[in-house]
Amino acid sequence: MSITNGYVIFPVGLMLAWLVLILLYRMVYNRSINRKLNGENVRKLFEPWKFAVGSLVILLAGMHIYSSIQASRSAVQQYYNPDGFRYISCSGETMQETEDRLYYVYYINYSHEENEGYTKAEYDQNGFHYTVFTSKLFHDGMHPDMIIFTEYKGESDDFVTMYQTVSFLQPDEKRTVINLAMKNDNAYRYSVTFLSGARDCIVSLQTDYLDSREEAEAIDHGEDIEETVSGLKELSGIHDVFETELKPYH
């Protein structure tokens, strides 16, 4: 799968379509003004540059609205930190659904099976299966440094809310650089997390399934993130922490 797939090709395709539209409009406009020159009574059209600017604004606004709707529908969460740590997270009932949701929101076409430019490793622990893709590419801001596909394989279905907490830790003392908790009211078995770090660190991905909405609400009203994380550990029916090194290539 090409690393430029989706994330680049879909918006590029839209822009090419826009350029074609502009060229077609210019043809129509030229035809209209020459008909006017020949004495025909024709309606005045927008000048080509005004049409180009207006249609571009509409296109970008439409793309933004579409992405926002898709994001709100598809339980995709994202966080960008000014220090350069960020994640995008998405979950679904099946792995395919999870991958599709990411594609339609961010035009990212990554797969749990193989991704060009990434090395793959798999781990099993505590009923969870983790497929980790580590980037071999230059840290460019457009591609994640690491992708973690998570599948809960346990038998229990008795949960109503899922939390995933991402912590970026300093490698030597394991001191937290940043700690982010993502909540999903649809407690899906499948999730994917895209991670990018500003520097070498340890990524800690904690997954918690709660079987009580009341407990979930109590967590939501916690005062800070540390309280949320420790609260989750105590309340969750299903809990696992997966840690791995993240070394963005600079």
| Nearest CB to other proteins, comparing residues 37 and 221 | 37
Distances in Å between the Cα of 155 and the Cα atoms of 26, 58, 148 are: 62, 48, 22
Query: Residues for the chain: how many in total?
Result: 250
CB of 131 to other proteins, least distance (A): 48
Quick check: 87 and 195 in contact, CB under 8 A?
yes
CB of 11 to other proteins, least distance (A): 22
Q: Read off the DSSP letter of residue 11.
A: H
Binding site for other proteins (CB under 8 A): 22, 26, 29-30, 33-34, 36-37, 44, 47-49, 52
User: Which amino acid, residue 15?
Assistant: M
| Nearest CB to other proteins, comparing residues 43 and 175 | 43
CB of 38 to other proteins, least distance (A): 9
| Nearest CB to other proteins, comparing residues 34 and 126 | 34
In this structure, how many other beta carbons lie within 10 angstroms of the beta carbon of residue 171? 14
| Nearest CB to other proteins, comparing residues 47 and 245 | 47
> Where are the alpha helices (H) located in 141-236, listed in sequence order?
213-220, 225-235
| Nearest CB to other proteins, comparing residues 44 and 221 | 44
**Residues 246, 220, 194: CA angle, nearest 5 degrees:** 25
| Nearest CB to other proteins, comparing residues 26 and 239 | 26
Shortest CA distance to 207 belongs to which of 165, 144, 178? 165
Question: Which contiguous run of DSSP H or E holds residue 193?
Answer: strand 190-196
CB of 137 to other proteins, least distance (A): 37
CB of 14 to other proteins, least distance (A): 20
Shortest CA distance to 231 belongs to which of 215, 250, 207, 211? 215
In this structure, how many other beta carbons lie within 10 angstroms of the beta carbon of residue 44? 8
Shortest CA distance to 73 belongs to which of 94, 97, 48? 97
| Nearest CB to other proteins, comparing residues 35 and 136 | 35
CB of 46 to other proteins, least distance (A): 11
CB of 12 to other proteins, least distance (A): 20
Report the half-sphere exposure of 215 (CA within 13 A, side-chain side): 17
Shortest CA distance to 242 belongs to which of 166, 134, 144, 146? 166
